[in-house]
Amino acid sequence: MKARVHVTLKDGVLDPQGKAIAHALGSLGFQGVGDVRQGKVIEIELAETDPQRGREAVDAMCRKLLANTVIERYEIQIDR
Amino acid sequence: MKARVHVTLKDGVLDPQGKAIAHALGSLGFQGVGDVRQGKVIEIELAETDPQRGREAVDAMCRKLLANTVIERYEIQIDR
């Protein structure tokens, strides 16, 4: 089973990487670019076959290691 | 319109960040974790309203700035 986790900064947390990308896109001549935010995507291969238990395991991984829940939120997607 | 871009290393390109995550998860006691790969997710707010033209613009952004197409692949998702 494969899990895909998105970790992004919570709304309201300043995202300097996103700002830098928006600025660079403007400099390259791209018009109409508004807010840009950058996050991480983590793809994990799991031996677990039960989607529910897989999701619980990945949720624990997010809380313990993958996301800083003070400033980041995460979203788990399970592909069977 | 909002575009979401996933930029991940191509298969076969060594991903030391992913390896470090897999190792850390193992150290934390998580069982059955196989390959882990880390990439970036970039969310872009666009003034463009036509999905087709929006996708073309984001594709150009990926080729020019967001992805290094020698070692990375990208995937564009348009949310209207």
Q: Is the pLDDT of residue B80 over 80?
A: no
pTM of the model: 0.90
Evaluated on CA atoms A34, A40, A45, A47, the torsion sign reads negative
Q: Looking at CA atoms only, how far is residue B69 from chain A in angstroms?
A: 17
Beta pairing, strands B2-9 & A72-79: unpaired
Per-residue pLDDT of B6-16, as tens digits, reads: 999 999 999 99
To the nearest 5 percent, what fractions of chain A are helix, strand and coil?
Answer: 35, 40, 30
Give chain B positions within 8 Å (CB) of A24. Answer: 65
- Amino acid letter for position A31: Q
Question: B2-79 in CATH: which number?
Answer: 3.30.1280.10
A39 phi-psi bin (left φ>0, alpha ψ -120 to 50, beta other): beta
Q: How far is A66 from chain B (nearest CA, A)?
A: 8
Q: What's the pLDDT tens digit per position in A35-65?
A: 999 999 999 999 999 999 999 999 999 999 9
Whether complex ipTM tops 0.90: no
Instruction: Say if CB B39 and CB B77 are below 8 A apart.
Output: no
What is the pLDDT, as a whole number, of residue A7? Answer: 97
CA dihedral A57, A58, A59, A65 (to 10 degrees): 110
Please tell me the predicted confidence (pLDDT) of residue A45. Answer: 96
Kindly list the residues from chain B whose CB atom is less than 8 angstroms away from the CB atom of residue A18. Answer: 42-43
Domains of chain A, by residue range, sit at: 2-79
* CB environment A20-46: b (16+ within 10 A), e (fewer): ebbebbeeeebeebeebbbbbbbbbeb
Q: Give which of A4, A36, A58, A59 to mutate to test B binding, by max B Cβ within 10 Å.
A: A36
pLDDT tens sequence across A19-41: 999 999 999 999 999 999 999 99
CB-nearest partner of A36 from B36, B43, B48: B43
A22, A61 Cβ separation under 8 angstroms? no
Distance from CA of A52 to the nearest CA of B (A): 15
Cα B43 versus chain centre, distance:
10
pLDDT tens per residue across span B25-76: 999 999 999 999 999 999 999 999 999 999 999 999 999 999 999 999 999 9
- Confidence at residue A80, expressed as pLDDT on a 0 to 100 scale: 72
